[in-house]
């Protein structure tokens, strides 16, 4: 038996600024056959932390044994080596698991904590994180790891430990340490030969926030800065920039094939088939809904249930017909379970497909049906009431927002407003066709 001490911390290669959590120490201790009797309280309140946690199978037993034999100062490098070599099943390399984790990370970004930087590697995760208010780092990590472990096991159809019990965190004491950690996090995928540059790795902040400046945050301004535009950021994210540019070059057959085989987000797991879209590929008008429902999932065509019939009637009322000079598509191509709204990460994963459809069709007018489609196309959340009745824009194309037919089936009193919108759509389309 050995009491916690500087010696013990060094044996674990934890400088005094590195801490393992109380509950997690038991697991670390068990593996290293050291049984501590007390733990010095090292956790500082507030501050920004560099955090690492890893998959349960990321370090082989032989590695743990080897680590005991080498000097403490060499252990950190060895652990990094094992992690970056991708030991174990590397469940985080599966897009559906990585996206679920990224979504979970982003959910409370700006609320319970500020994520200054992050990367999801195949078998471990690095964060540069600043807890906010009453939310302690322990609570944040506990809740994040326990939720994502349950979700990952559900997606993988298995149970058992998903994460290693212990996480490591280091309080960053100054701008220099902060900058070095951000640099380390961003370069990790490059160092592990997963990408040529940080912004080409989909599951790190630099690559995930497409088109944004993903450089290091200036720690001197943290106390006054707010995390900018979380919603817009979540909606503008994309898979890997390389995947996005590949999709952006596809022709119709390639795009259809890619969607049919896509596994970029967890929705692929329960679909009968992906629902690509239907209609005239040279249409002047494109209607965009949110996601396939049960009947669409079965039939492979968007808007085929009761809401579909109403959409057909709406089209007829302005002298349009499904498949004739009209194209109909959804924001996501696979059915969300229980017909729930698609999540931000699923919308982001599917975004390049819709964008390519829009580019290939080149419609004069896009009509967003409902809030999910409007939020996706406008990059910000707002009520339909505040968006309808005006001419908006998506990537230089005219955009009109109106109610989703499924909403109109439930809310008859808004049908009159929908009729006004249809008149606006008809007038606008005519004007665009005959300028």
Where on the chain is the footprint of ligand SF4 (CB under 6 A)?
259, 262-265, 267-268, 274, 332-334, 346, 349-350
* Total residue count of the chain as it appears in this document: 435
Of 285 and 331, the one with the shorter C-beta distance to ligand SF4 is 331
Helices (H), 192-280: 205-208, 230-236, 241-247, 252-260
In the complex, the smallest distance separating the C-beta of residue 264 from ligand SF4, rounded to whole angstroms, is: 4
Beta bridge pairs of residue 114: 130
- Pairwise CA distance, residues 177 & 128, whole Å: 11
Of 88 and 336, nearer to ligand SF4 (C-beta) is 336
Helix ranges (H only) for 166-237 are 175-191, 205-208, 230-236
Closer to ligand SF4 at the Cβ: 20 or 152?
152
| Nearer residue to ligand SF4 within complex by CB, 202 or 334 | 334
Measured between alpha carbons, how far is 113 from 125 in angstroms, rounded to an integer?
16
User: Residue 12, exposed/middle/buried by CB under 10 A (0-12, 13-18, 19+)?
Assistant: buried
Smallest gap from Cβ 181 to ligand SF4, in A, equals 31
CA–CA separation, 185 and 189 (whole Å): 8
Q: 168 or 327, CB closer to ligand SF4?
A: 327
Strand partners, 163: 55
Q: How far is the CB of 30 from ligand SF4 (least distance, A)?
A: 39
Q: How far is the CB of 185 from ligand SF4 (least distance, A)?
A: 26
Residue 262: CB minimum distance to ligand SF4, A = 3
For helices 95-107 and 344-361, give the axis angle rounded to 10 degrees.
110
Beta carbon nearer to ligand SF4, 53 or 353 = 353
- Can you say whether the dihedral through the CA atoms of 59, 62, 68, 69 is positive or negative? negative
Q: How far is the CB of 10 from ligand SF4 (least distance, A)?
A: 47
């Amino acid at each position: 038996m050995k009491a916690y001490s500087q010696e013990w911390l060094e044996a674990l290669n934890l400088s005094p600024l590195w801490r393992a959590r109380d509950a997690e120490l038991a697991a670390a201790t068990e593996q290293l056959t050291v049984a501590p009797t007390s733990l010095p309280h090292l956790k500082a309140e507030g501050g920004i932390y560099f955090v690492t946690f890893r998959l349960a199978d990321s370090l082989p037993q032989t590695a743990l044994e080897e680590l005991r034999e080498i000097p403490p100062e060499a252990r950190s490098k060895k652990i990094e080596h094992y992690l970056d070599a991708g030991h174990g099943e590397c469940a985080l390399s599966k897009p559906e698991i990585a996206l679920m984790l990224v979504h979970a990370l982003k959910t409370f970004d700006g609320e319970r904590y500020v994520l200054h930087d992050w990367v999801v590697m195949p078998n471990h995760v690095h964060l540069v994180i600043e807890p906010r208010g009453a939310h302690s780092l322990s609570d944040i990590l506990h809740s994040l790891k326990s939720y994502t472990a349950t979700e990952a096991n559900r997606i993988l159809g298995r149970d058992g430990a998903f994460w290693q019990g212990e996480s490591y965190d280091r309080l960053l004491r100054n701008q220099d340490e902060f900058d070095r950690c951000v640099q380390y996090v961003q370069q990790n995928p490059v160092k592990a030969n997963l990408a040529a540059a940080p912004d080409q790795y989909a599951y790190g902040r630099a690559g995930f926030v497409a088109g944004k400046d993903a450089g290091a945050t200036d720690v001197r301004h943290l106390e006054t800065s707010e995390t900018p535009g979380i919603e817009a950021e979540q909606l503008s994210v994309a898979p890997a920039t390389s995947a996005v540019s590949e999709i952006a070059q596809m022709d119709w057959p390639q795009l259809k094939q890619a969607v049919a085989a896509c596994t970029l987000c967890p929705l692929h797991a329960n679909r009968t088939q992906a629902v690509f879209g239907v209609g005239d590929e040279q249409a002047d008008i494109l209607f965009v809904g949110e996601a396939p429902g049960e009947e669409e999932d079965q039939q492979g065509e968007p808007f085929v249930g009761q809401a579909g019939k109403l959409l057909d009637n709406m089209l007829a009322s302005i002298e349009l017909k499904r498949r004739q000079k009209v194209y109909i598509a959804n924001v996501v191509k696979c059915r969300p379970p229980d017909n729930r709204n698609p999540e931000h990460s699923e919308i982001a994963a599917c975004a390049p497909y819709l964008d390519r459809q829009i580019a290939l069709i080149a419609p004069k007018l896009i009509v967003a049906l409902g809030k999910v489609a409007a939020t996706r196309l406008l990059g910000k959340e707002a009520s339909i009431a505040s968006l309808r009745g005006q001419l908006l824009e998506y990537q230089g194309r005219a955009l009109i927002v109106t109610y989703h037919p499924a909403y109109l089936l439930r809310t008859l009193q808004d049908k009159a407003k929908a009729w006004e919108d249809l008149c606006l759509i008809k007038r606008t389309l005519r004007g665009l066709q005959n300028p």
